[in-house]
Structure 1
Amino acid sequence: MNLSLLAENLTNPALLFFCLGIIAVYLKSDLEIPQNSSKFISLYLLFSIGFKGGQELSHEHFSSEIALSMLFGILLALIIPFYTFFILKKKFSIADSGAIAAAYGSVSAVTFVTAVSYLEMHGLKLEGHMVAIMALMESPAIIAGLVLISLFDREGSSVSKRNVITHSLTNGSVLLIMGSLIIGYMASAEQAQGIKPFTNDIFKGFLAIFLLDMGIVSGRKLNTLFREGWFPFAFGIVFPLVNGCAAAYLSALVTDNISSRFVFAVLAASASYIAVPAAMKIAAPKANPGLYLPMALGVTFPVNITLGFPLYYLIAGL
């Protein structure tokens, strides 16, 4: 079962476009997605996921399961950076440990979007409230990482907690997906049908092009990480798989829905390479982006979409 899921995922066109991007870098090709186009596609993907999630949420009735699921997601975002920090500080500086911990405690919207496509490939539907949970998990990990830096940085931290809390709550990706979720929730089925060709029909094509761009970016970032030795690679591979498997198993305590358990695993396993770097640049400038950014994007992201997804899906179905 696991091998068949792995083989199916490895032939997914979106994943193959990601691999093509990495190959293009190592062939020194001039293949490149214009920056403005890349930004537009990322905004489109967040908008589409948020809007569709809002539509699904409008058909759901708030229940104890949804409340417990939201609490479970927030706890994941707080617990993961805490114990990650103490593992990392044995190898890295306090600032770098806090930044990496925040990245791995927070979530990757792109990994989430790819996971939604994976669910659809298996005939499963994303529960609307999981979109809200994804957005809720973004900020707590960033705040936790910065608090840990301020507590353990004996040389004095330059962290501005007020700025980072404001930034984490108004971050563009969080604002867009939550705003789209609310708009999708308010829109009637007839109104949503009017933009369905844009929100649904072209989604997978844009996802493939976006992952091609992510492959190009990942290939470039990996070069900078090789200088740091084996530990960042080992951590970026093993840690997300452990977190994802644990979340897939433990999420059975709050829901028996396979798609929700799978998404919980993906959220716990993913690492932020958009919101966290932006926040750390402002609040923890001593943290090295040449470390936490390549780990999240160049190592953990491809590990999740190749090995992680089939593994989490298998455990969620147990």
Structure 2
Amino acid sequence: MYEIMIQNILSPVVLFFVLGLFAALVKSDLKFPSALSETLSIFLLVAIGLKGGIELSKYSLGEVISPVIGTLFLGSILPIVTLLLLKTIKIDKKNAIALAATYGSVSIVTYGAAISFLDQIGTTYEGFMNAMVVLMESPAIIVSLVLLKIMEQKKSEAHVFSSKTVAFTSPLTTWIDKEVLKEALFGKSILLLLGALLIGLVAGEQALPTVQPLFIDLYGSVLILFLLSMGLTAGARLPEVRKHGLQLFLFGIIMPVVGGILGVLVGTVIGLSLGGITLMGVLAGSASYIAAPAALRTSVPDANPSIYLGLALGITFPFNLLIGIPLYYQLAQWFISF
């Protein structure tokens, strides 16, 4: 595992992230134009979606149903796991829910780095895993908002709660603002991923001559530029995380490991390959800083962005990039050998 970690750390993708992180910490004047960062983000979302759709066109529904169920399960259970871990930290309800949505959803860029890692070490994976990224974006956000409503209305006479049943007198659409549902299901990142996925699925392999020169061949190079930008952003967020103490810092490391173990376990149970299990671990161990924050700004405005964004970008993202990805790969190897 040590050799794999060193190989990952010395890859250009990680080194450029470290360069951006260093530039932010020494307060360099290096900056990325916001329009360029946005363009790079759009490129990565479209590339992952197209590649997933083209690969998905090769599989039948029966071959992907188990991964779909496993992904939806992870997206639904991870917010609950997050809240249970946060019970050991003195943190208010709104920020706890924000962290639950953030850590239940997925980081597209971490997933992209994991693909680069697998390609570098020559490990194959199921092409439909790119489609699982899309599926895991929304469930955690929706589940977290439902949990918030349950917590807020726990003492209400209109709702009856017990260890076995929960009775609701209001439909789900009255619990969550329609704009929040719209953001969770049709926000920019999800719309681009899902749209590109469907286009790739419909076009199939005949689309390769058109999309490969830009979206496949140049993917690694664009990812390097984007991670340089992410390094600058993460470095700027680190001081905000330090304000909230050691316990929150440790949560930003422990939670991805817990999520990664759950993801690897689910991937093993549904029979994925070594690469597929690793990616399932990466999906479960990453934290969103695109889709989830966009929804949280509307639904939980009282939550502090410096906590959920600072932790996801300043702690969990670098941890996964340096240690988490090779760790999930090693865990996948151990689980397969059992």
TM class by smaller structure: over 0.9
When residues 27 and 155 of structure 1 are mapped into structure 2, their CA distance, relative to the original with a 3 A threshold, is: farther
Displacement of 1:190 in angstroms is 3.8
When residues 216 and 161 of structure 1 are mapped into structure 2, their CA distance, relative to the original with a 3 A threshold, is: same
Q: Which runs of 5+ in 2 are unaligned?
A: 156-173
- 1:164 aligns to 2:180 (yes or no): yes
Q: Give 1:82's aligned residue.
A: 80
Could you tell me which of 237, 262, 269 is aligned with 1:253? 269
Displacement of 1:188 in angstroms is 4.5
Displacement of 1:290 in angstroms is 1.1
The AA in structure 2 aligned to 1:168 is A
RMSD: 1.8
TM-score, scaled relative to structure 2: 0.89
The AA in structure 1 aligned to 2:201 is Y
Q: Give 2:230's aligned residue.
A: 214
Q: Is the 8 A contact 2:282 2:325 kept in 1?
A: yes
Query: SS at 2:265's partner residue?
Result: helix
Deviations 1:170-224, CA, capped at 9 Å, x for gaps: 0111111111111112224343213311012211111001000000000001111
Q: Which runs of 5+ in 1 are unaligned?
A: none
The AA in structure 2 aligned to 1:197 is P
Q: Which runs of 4+ in 1 moved over 6 A?
A: none
- 1:233 aligns to 2:231 (yes or no): no
Displacement of 1:101 in angstroms is 0.7
TM-score, scaled relative to structure 1: 0.94
Q: Is the 8 A contact 2:264 2:278 kept in 1?
A: yes
Aligned equivalents of 1:74, 1:315: Cα separation in 2: 21
Question: Computing the radius of gyration over CA atoms, which structure comes out larger, 1 or 2?
Answer: 2
Displacement of 1:154 in angstroms is 6.4
- 1:307 aligns to 2:323 (yes or no): yes
Q: Is the 8 A contact 1:184 1:192 kept in 2?
A: no
- 1:193 aligns to 2:209 (yes or no): yes
Q: Is the 8 A contact 2:79 2:140 kept in 1?
A: yes
Displacement of 1:83 in angstroms is 2.6
Displacement of 1:74 in angstroms is 0.7
Displacement of 1:155 in angstroms is 11
Residue identity over aligned pairs, in percent, reads 38
Aligned equivalents of 1:33, 1:6: Cα separation in 2: 28
Q: Superposed, which structure 2 residues align to 1:111-122 within 5 Å?
A: 111-122=110-121
How many residues align? The count is 315
Aligned equivalents of 2:291, 2:175: Cα separation in 1: 16
Q: Is the 8 A contact 2:51 2:130 kept in 1?
A: no
Q: Is the 8 A contact 2:264 2:332 kept in 1?
A: yes
Q: Give 2:333's aligned residue.
A: 317
Deviations 1:112-143, CA, capped at 9 Å, x for gaps: 11111112112234423212221111111001
Query: SS at 1:96's partner residue?
Result: helix
Aligned equivalents of 2:313, 2:293: Cα separation in 1: 11
